[in-house]
Structures are given as structure tokens and as C-alpha cells.
Chain A
């Protein structure tokens, strides 16, 4: 099963690197916020999967905390754009 988790982690990182294109070149601030939000939700999964790869899965706490704080980051970023 470790190979499945490792494969899943690598595919998620590949998807994040594809999304990085939108972060760097994406026209305008909104595309960047969307792409960073997407990479953030992928990060939650990568954190859980690394816990399983190392065989100590009781570190889901970090992923939970990150999920909570990702929302704050997104809402704060949308607030920073003046209407």
C-alpha cells in the first residue's frame, strides 16, 4: 500500500506544479488566489499521505489545522482587493 500512497503523493505534486503556472503567469490577482487555494487543498492531502508513508498517521492534526487556516487566507486575500 505504501506504493499507492507514494504514487498518489507524486501525482498530487505534479498537479500542484501544473497549477503553479496559473500562480506565476495567471492574468490578474484572482487567478492567483484561485490557484493558491487549489494548491492549499492539495497540500492537506499531501500532509495526510506523508503521515501514511512514514507509518505514523496520527498526525492528521496538522492537516486539520491547515484546512482551517486556508479558508482564512482566502477570505483575507479577497478582502485585500479594493472595490
Chain B
């Protein structure tokens, strides 16, 4: 199904989409300092793509974010999360014991844990949530399901 919104809606969505994406990434990376985190940021990122598809049609959207990249992202997020957990085992801690992971230049354990939460775990959750939400949208959108 082609997008059938008028030129006004299209222009505003085209101008707004990058700012929505920056806002979603901001929410993901600042989960420690205030409200927010991986899930909320991922949903906002997916929402920008949903807006784009609703204005420009499913073909344009799937040309921007192809199903293959989407599939890779879906698994990558989960892999990042459990990979950090497994890294902790590798360096002698328990599973998901972030303090055991050695980072360059930083040896203060609470800071290591904070950095791994904000920059590792939340990113993994965010990528997975975004990819899954976009997948759900593509599957439910009329004409969006790919038969392979």
C-alpha cells in the first residue's frame, strides 16, 4: 500500500524524523540519569520509522531499513546483552556481574558498572526492541509481509 498523505504531512515528517531519532538515542543513553532506558528509547526509534512508512509507503520504508538489516539487528541486541554477561564470566566473575569486566583507564568498580549499564545493556535492549517493533509493524502493515 502506498502512502497517501498530502505533501504537507510528508514534509513535516521528513523534517522531524532525524530529530525524533536523536531524541530516542538520547533516551537510550541517558537511562541512568533520569527516566528512560533501552525499552522506551527503542520504542521511540521504532516510532520514527513507523511515521516514515505511514507517510511515504512501505516500499520506501523497506528500502531505508531493509528486512535483512532488521533481522541482523534483532539478534544483535540480544547478543550484546548476553555477551556482556558472558564477558564477566570470562574475566572471573559471575554471569551478568558487570564489575568484573576490565575497561581501559577505568578501575573504579561502581563506575565500570554504570558505564556498562548505560552504554552496553541499555543499547542491547534498545536495538532489540526497535527491531522487533519495526518487524511487527512491517508484518501487520497491508502489503508489508515478505513471502520468501
Contacts and interface: CB of A to CB of B under 8 A. Distances in A.
Contact of A65 (B5, B44, B55): B44
Overall SS of chain B's interface: helix
A37 to B, nearest CB: 14
Contacts of A75: 5, 9, 51, 54-55
B20 A68 contact: yes
Nearest to B33: A58
Interface string A41-83: 0000000000000000011011011001101100110010000
Contacts of A65: 23, 27, 40, 44
A69 B44 CA distance: 8
A76 B34 contact: no
Nearest to A68: B20
Nearest to B19: A68
B96 interface: no
Contacts of B20: 68
B119 interface: no
B50 interface: yes
Interface of A: 58-59, 61-62, 64-65, 68-69, 71-72, 75-76, 79
